Amino acid sequence: MPFNFKKTDIPEIILIEPRIFSDNRGVFLEIYKQSEFKRYGLEKPFCQVNHSRSKKNVLRGLHYQLAPQAQAKLVHVVSGEIFDVGVDLRRHSATYGQWVGEILSCQNRKMLYIPEGFAHGFCVLSDIAEVIYHCTAEYSQAHEQGVIWSDNLLNIQWPIKNPVLSDKDMVLPSLAQAEHNF
């Protein structure tokens, strides 16, 4: 089996460790294999792949899209290291408003699957990080939403101080004020 799927403290967020094949030439690993993901119950196909390159202390997020354009994401790092976060926005969930954070890097090659109904964000711990994330729905500006990274109710323990934010991310609402329909 090319993947080890592990449930996190929020069982719907899955930490995925790929099997790594290495020899004197380098390494090979599978990022996604439909049959294996389906066997684990992750059946929705990916239809868009995004790539970001960010400098140290950049924080992107917390972002999500409203239904019916909600996205699940498979996040992995091809260069550098990030602290990746998923926040449960499902109002009737026992873990509503809770978060899971994992360090993903090109060294540990771990991936995080963040399902629909969750906000996603990450901060960069290395000098530069390149992140690829596969999405189950295409980007839709009309459905785009977010929650402020520093929401006191969420109390996310970001491992950086004074993050570098986009103008848009600086003015995102708190979870209590954010629109979400999950």
Residues with active-site annotation: 63, 133
Contact 12, 105 (CB under 8 A): no
Residue given tokens 């950049």 in the structure block: 58
Alpha carbon distance 49, 123 (integer Å): 19
Contact 144, 65 (CB under 8 A): yes
Q: How far is CA 8 from CA 71, 91, 150, 155, in A?
A: 19, 19, 22, 18
Query: What residues contact residue 39 under an 8 Å CB cut-off, 6+ apart?
Result: none
Alpha carbon distance 10, 125 (integer Å): 23
The structure tokens listed for 85 are: 């976060």
